[in-house]
């Protein structure tokens, strides 16, 4: 694809591109918005360096691509409920996104994209890994593709978010989605189950479901489908949740890694 308003440099053959020549804190022109969207569709996750996003600019950037989603599992910032803090330090007992996942697949309408801005990162470590679910799907055998086609699976937020709340009345979403999802824009197929939220394939025994899900998780963990983003202070990553999974590597304890994420609304998976 040709770009005139941005410079787009692929990081791997299958997934990820570094974008330069744009200041994300300024309102986007139509052409910039279109080309960012094109780059996201082509590379599934796009990375930016040396950005300076206050909360309003971060939200405006997200809104250029759709409505912002209020996180259904964790509370947003006091005056900016659409923004969640992503923070770890020497007192942290866990970090968000330590297991492979696509964001909030427990929602009936999971988000299209997420935009993470990290002003503070450790000197080394704290990378985020992204996996292309197109590449993972393409590498399945025709027999396995045939088996998975038409299956659905349960995605539950309960076991993910219950340990993080003291409120026994809080309810978390639980939804059923196709195991193989067709991307609404690219029309490419991708695997749409993940180790964080997916609990069961519908209509098969628990043993069969566990066997198939574990096979798919192991398959998706193949580094041939991955890109690993090494953060610098003030980097931004924008990923398409419909065709990727990601994992936050927590190898930097007790150092500080801190920033903010907005999540952009999507559509019901098909
Ligand atoms: C997330 O799952 O959104 C967090 C990713 C990260 O902190 O790298």
- Ligand 1: which atom is nearest the Cα of residue 237? 8
Active site residue 183: no
Where does the pLDDT of residue 28 fall: very low under 50, low under 70, confident under 90, or very high at 90 and above? very high
pLDDT of 207 above 90? yes
Does the CB atom of residue 24 touch ligand 1 within 6 A? no
Longest dimension (CA), the chain: 53
Report the nearest-CA residue for atom 4 of ligand 1. Answer: 97
Torsions phi, psi for 198 (to 5 deg): -75, 130
- Ligand 1: which atom is nearest the Cα of residue 259? 7
CA distance 169 to 147: 39
Cα dist. 87→84, 172, 217, 249, 270 in Å?
9, 22, 26, 13, 33
Active site residue 246: yes
SS3 for 154?
A: strand
Residue ranges and CATH numbers for the domains of the chain are 7-264 (3.60.130.10)
Closest C-alpha among 148, 222, 142 to residue 191:
148
pLDDT tens digits for range 114-157? 999 999 999 999 999 999 999 999 999 999 999 999 999 999 99
Residues with Cβ within 8 Å of residue 9, at least 6 apart in sequence:
17, 18, 19, 20
pLDDT tens digits for range 99-114? 999 999 999 999 999 9
- Mean pLDDT over 68-95 rounds to 94
Cα dist. 124→5, 130, 233, 250, 253 in Å?
32, 18, 11, 11, 11
Report the nearest-CA residue for atom 6 of ligand 1. Answer: 248
Instruction: Report the separation in Å between the CA atom of 257 and the middle of ligand 1, taken as the mean of its atom positions.
Output: 11
Active site residue 43: no
Catalytic residue among 14, 177, 183, 261: 261
Does the CB atom of residue 244 touch ligand 1 within 6 A? no
pLDDT tens digits for range 147-170? 999 999 999 999 999 988 989 999
Average pLDDT of the chain to the nearest whole number: 97
Buried b (16+ CB within 10 A) or exposed e, 149-166: eebbbbbbbbebbeeeee
User: Which of 74, 76, 104, 128 for a ligand 1 pocket mutation test, highest count of atoms within 8 Å of Cβ?
Assistant: 128
pLDDT of 67 above 90? yes
Instruction: Report the separation in Å between the CA atom of 196 and the middle of ligand 1, taken as the mean of its atom positions.
Output: 13
CA distance 104 to 218: 21
């Amino acid at each position: 694809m040709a770009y005139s308003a941005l410079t787009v440099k692929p990081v791997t053959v299958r997934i990820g591109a570094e974008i330069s020549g744009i200041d994300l804190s300024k309102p986007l022109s139509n052409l910039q918005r279109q080309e960012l969207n094109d780059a996201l569709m082509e590379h599934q996750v796009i990375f930016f360096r040396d950005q300076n996003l206050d909360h309003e600019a971060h939200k405006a950037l997200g809104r250029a691509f759709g409505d912002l989603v209020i996180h259904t599992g964790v509370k947003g910032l006091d005056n900016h409920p659409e923004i969640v803090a992503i923070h770890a330090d020497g007192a942290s007992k866990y970090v968000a996104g330590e297991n492979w996942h696509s964001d909030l697949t427990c929602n009936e309408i999971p988000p299209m994209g997420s935009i993470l801005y990290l002003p503070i990162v450790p000197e080394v470590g704290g990378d985020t890994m992204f996996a292309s679910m197109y590449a993972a799907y393409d590498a399945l055998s025709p027999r396995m593709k045939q088996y998975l086609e038409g299956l659905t699976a349960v995605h539950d937020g309960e076991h993910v978010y219950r340990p993080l709340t003291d409120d026994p009345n809080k309810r978390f979403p639980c939804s059923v989605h196709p195991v193989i999802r067709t991307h609404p824009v690219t029309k490419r197929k991708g695997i749409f189950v993940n180790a964080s939220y997916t609990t069961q394939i519908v209509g098969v025994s628990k043993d069969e479901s566990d066997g198939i899900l574990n096979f798919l998780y192991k398959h998706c963990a193949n580094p041939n489908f991955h890109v690993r983003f090494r953060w610098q202070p003030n980097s931004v990553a924008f990923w398409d949740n419909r065709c990727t999974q990601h994992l936050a590597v927590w190898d930097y304890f007790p150092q500080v890694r801190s920033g903010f994420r907005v999540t952009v609304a999507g559509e019901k998976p098909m």
